[in-house]
Amino acid sequence: MWLTVATVLIAEALFFLPSLARARHDWLERHLRAGQIAALSADGGKLQNGIRADLLTLAGVEAVTLQESDRTLRLTRAGVTPDGAVRTDLPGDSLPAAAAGVIGGLVGRSDALLDVRGPSLLDEGGSVAVLVRRAALDHFLSRFALRVGAISLAVAGAVGLLLFCALTLLLVRPLHRLTESIAAFRADPERAAPYDGVTHGDDEIAVAGRELAAMQRELRAALWRNARLAALGTSVAKINHDLRGILSPALLTAERLQMSEEPGIKRAGDTLVRAVERATTLVRSIVEFAREIPVAPQRARIALRPVVAEAADQALHATPDLAIDNAVPEAMEIDAERASIVRVLTNLLRNAGEARAHHVRVTAEQEGGVVAVTVADDGPGLPDAVQAALFRPFVTGGRPGSTGLGLAIVRDLVRAHGGEASLLATSASGTSFRITLPRAARHTAPPAMAPQPPVELRG
């Protein structure tokens, strides 16, 4: 409301001086015409001095001189002379001069005379000159300014009140409902009802209401899913404990079968051992994924090439036949948590080996404020049905023995660093994944680095 009042008053102030200048011009013009009428009324000199004085009083002037082509008429109050009068010509008075006269009349008082001159109404070549008291003009301007100021305040107050009521109904109340819904949902997201205020229409409040309601519904569904996942994790942890006890005798039996001299029995023992190991690995991976709580990574400035080498060593334990080329420049650095990035790269390399790839190449390059790391393999590619949900938990891509959690963990860890993990390309000739990571705060590498020869690691 006060903002509206101030805006209206500023707009009125822009027109204040021009309005006063126009009022001053009209006042002088009225007295000029009234003085001409008084001079014409006294034509012939037959009127008594008292009547002449009354004519001047009614006209509001001290003296008048009417100059026509064939005559000159003068009417002057006794004791009044034009000496020292300030001349003002109508209509030739400029706006700056009029504004200066207005300001002078508002800030000071004077008994000086104004010599106002203008053309005659009756004779095209004639002129009229009147003497008026400046004090009378100043009094008129003061009253006019007070009247304009009072009207401006009244208009500003009325407009401000109307706009305040309109904004309260159309903006403030809906915003109150939005904030109340947000606060209630924050206090108890599982039980608070979604926003049910203004959601129809195309205005900003309606759009915000629709988006808030949709977000609250999605967050509630996500909370329910997380609660179920937590319950699932607890259940799987118990199953894991019981399953180990159940599978322990089977594992001992399988190990005894492996020691048999009979080839068929030994192969059966090997198969049974691998089956038990896959079962325990699957349960353990599910438990770790369900229990994992995202935390802010402990970042540090680290070299990327040694991180890739460490991840390659770990991946080769699970896929010893995989050839890994570390083509990351020596001077490439990132701002990240070393253990998390090792885990990310290990999962990507292990996935390539599990997808029956024979060769993987890891490269990195700077793109603005981030480092883009590409992991490209020569595997058979990903099925179309898997690509859309590739980074979701338990999406295995059809690989036997896979838990389907590796890429989900990769995306979570990369996003925790403010980056992104994505599928760059996939075909029958291979698959490429791309992850972006924050660049180090200071980069000491030269502007143009010579490419480093790839290092091949084999199990």
* CA 295/CA 297 separation, integer angstroms: 6
pLDDT digits (tens, 9 = 90+) for 229-266: 677 666 666 766 677 677 777 777 777 777 877 888 87
Cα–Cα distance list, 53 to 57, 112, 115 (Å): 6, 20, 18
Q: What is the mean pLDDT of residues 300-316?
A: 92
Residues contacting 387, CB < 8 A, separation 6+: 423, 426
- pLDDT of 110 over the 70 cut: no
- pLDDT of 327 over the 90 cut: yes
List the chain domain ranges.
Answer: 2-156, 204-291, 300-457
The per-residue pLDDT of the chain, averaged, comes to: 79
Task: For residue 402, give the nearest of 361, 352, 358, 458 by alpha carbon.
Answer: 352
pLDDT digits (tens, 9 = 90+) for 261-283: 788 887 777 777 777 776 776 66
Task: For residue 434, give the nearest of 418, 425, 426, 422 by alpha carbon.
Answer: 422
Q: What is the dihedral of CA 89, 92, 94, 98, to 10 degrees?
A: 30
pLDDT digits (tens, 9 = 90+) for 147-206: 888 887 888 778 878 888 888 888 888 888 888 888 888 888 877 777 877 667 788 888
- pLDDT of 25 over the 50 cut: yes
Confidence of residue 77 (pLDDT cuts 50, 70, 90): confident
Q: What is the mean pLDDT of residues 108-121?
A: 79
Question: Which range, of 71-80, 380-389, 434-443, averages the lowest pLDDT?
Answer: 434-443
**Sheet containing 370-377: order of strands:** 420-427, 430-438, 370-377, 359-367, 323-326, 455-457
- What is the amino acid identity at position 268? A
* CA 424/CA 248 separation, integer angstroms: 43
Confidence of residue 448 (pLDDT cuts 50, 70, 90): very low
Within 10 angstroms of residue 305's Cβ, the number of other Cβ atoms is 20
* CA 35/CA 90 separation, integer angstroms: 14
Classify domain 300-457 at the CATH superfamily level. Histidine kinase-like ATPase, C-terminal domain (3.30.565.10)
The pLDDT of residue 278 is 66
Higher-confidence position of 17 and 39: 39
pLDDT digits (tens, 9 = 90+) for 405-414: 778 888 888 9
pLDDT digits (tens, 9 = 90+) for 123-151: 888 899 999 988 888 888 888 888 888 88
The pLDDT of residue 446 is 38
Cα–Cα distance list, 420 to 372, 373, 417, 458 (Å): 10, 11, 9, 29
